[in-house]
Amino acid sequence: MAKDISPEKKKSRNREIFGWCMFDFANSSYTTVIISVVYCEIFTQLVVPSDPNSANPFQFGNSLWAWALAVSYLFVVLTGPIFGAITDYSSTKKLFLFISYVGCIITTFLLYYVDPGYVWLGFVLVALSNFFFASGENFAASFLPFLGEKEDLGKISGYAWGIGYFGGIGSVVLATTLGDYTLANYENLKLVGPYTAVFFLIAAIPTFLLMKEPKLPKGIPSKVNYLKEGVNRVVNTLKYASRFKDLMIYLVSLFFTMAALAIVISFAFIYGSQEIHIEAQHKQVMFIFIQISAAIGALAFGVIQDSIGAKKTFNLTLVLWLGVCGLIYFVQDVTLILNTVLGKAWTVQWVFVFISSLAGMGLGSTQSASRAMVGIFSPESKSGEFFGMWGLSGKIAAAIGLFLFGFIQTLVTLRNAFLVVALFYLLSLIINLFVNEKRGVEAADNFQE
């Protein structure tokens, strides 16, 4: 049961929750415009020269895109747990969040200077900007346990993800004014970096005005060798595996989910363009469908989680994803069946767009549920470190998943390469069945240094 708090404290907490949610609104501009919808196609089809292989002309661009993101996630893996420990000991969560925010804005703005053929400059800037973005996700997530009672974290996380997707809509609306994805229009297209950077810059201002630095728990030493302590805390966390058994099992499950999500987020529109041959009108509707359904999924599943529990909610999202993967892989057959049964003449492109709305719902709900689930399994005194472990699991998964996917799609068609996504979701579901949610929450509540 939630604790009674004074009206003044509740008002202050609500302001902080709003500020925290606005960071998701702001940084969604980066992941949506740069990673998922616009710059992914600019890089793979215009910046990187086409391959002579007419059957798969963009395989080199696709692979470099996957590997640039994978490299960035590897750097997050190396720094995330240490940064988490530092912020826990030094009361600098907000400072580190601000540094990641500024870093992402600057490197995103610099994409303006990546012209066609400037492959390695683009590669480096994408890797750097995504490193700052992903690090910022970890820092922002570490605030969650301080924003409400454990039973409210699913709802709060859902609010943030839901608001975030509307931020994605606003930023892409700006990006769509840049015109067609052609070399002739490249002078306009290169503005996508500055547009996104300015949107992120302005939209995140409420975050730093309204959010407070969480108070350090009692007993934290004032002088610490942060690098040494960061490494030691990660080692100690792994030693606590029996104490936080369910968190560890869940992180293994989450590993496969995050590998799949990284591929989906980075290649959904590339897949639609190269395999389904969707055009501008399809992309516009698909994007709107995904954003709206993702917001609905995050909000709805956040409420569902508070009713039925985090584990069941997370499993539901994985079942949803398995269904979506099957529908997309067999979209030609699905289209034929629908047209035969309903007497319609829908094209494969529009059926793919409609299926994408289910993918959007899975995207919002899975990300929201995963963050909240780590939150309820994390003692407050180790929230930064444990969310660093959350980032570690997710980013290792993203790096491995994208490296693997980038390699596989050079051997087989992009369509067949996407089968690895369904495999990852299935493995995640099976592993998560072994998580005991009640035991995991009790372990966090009863934890003592």
Domain boundaries, the chain: 10-211+225-445
Spatial separation of the C-alpha atoms in residues 156 and 4, rounded to whole Å:
18
Query: What pLDDT does residue 1 have?
Result: 43
pLDDT, one tens digit per residue, over 72-93 is 999 988 887 778 778 877 778 8
Q: State the pLDDT confidence band at 329, using cuts at 50, 70 and 90.
A: very high
pLDDT at 263: 94
> Which range among 10-24, 151-165, 246-260 has the greatest average pLDDT?
246-260
Where b means 16+ CB within 10 Å and e means fewer, 294-311 reads: bbbbbbbbbebbbeebbb
- CA–CA separation, 303 vs 21, rounded Å? 16
pLDDT given at position 240: 65
236 CB-near residues (< 8 Å, 6+ apart): none
Nearest to 380 by CA among 309, 448, 311, 306: 448
According to CATH, the topology of domain 10-211+225-445 is: Growth Hormone; Chain: A; (1.20.1250)
Region at 181 (left for phi over 0; alpha for psi -120 to 50; beta for the rest) = beta
Q: What is the pLDDT of residue 4?
A: 58
Q: Whole-prediction pTM value? A: 0.82
Per residue in 379-399, pLDDT (tens digit) is: 777 766 677 677 677 788 999
User: Token pair of 449, please?
Assistant: 């240094």
CB 311 within 8 A of CB 376: no
Nearest alpha-carbon partner for 130 in 409, 402, 422: 402
pLDDT tens sequence across 138-172 = 889 888 878 877 777 778 877 887 788 788 888 88
Give the least confident one: 200-209, 240-249, 384-393, 412-421.
384-393
Q: What is the mean pLDDT of the chain?
A: 86
Q: How far apart are the C-alpha atoms of 435 and 305, rounded to whole Å? A: 15
Q: What is the pLDDT of residues 107-122, one digit of tens each?
A: 999 999 999 999 999 9
Percent of the chain past pLDDT 70, that is, above it, reads 91
**pLDDT tens by residue, 21-33:** 999 999 999 999 9
Report the distance separating Cα 384 and Cα 15, nearest Å. 21
pLDDT for the residue 366: 82
Instruction: Express each pLDDT in 24-60 by its tens digit.
Output: 999 999 999 999 889 999 999 999 988 777 767 788 8
Measure CA 385 to chain center.
19
Least confident of 161-170, 220-229, 266-275: 220-229
Q: Name the pLDDT band for 186 (thresholds 50, 70, 90).
A: very high
pLDDT digits (tens, 9 = 90+) for 416-447: 888 999 999 999 999 999 998 888 888 888 77
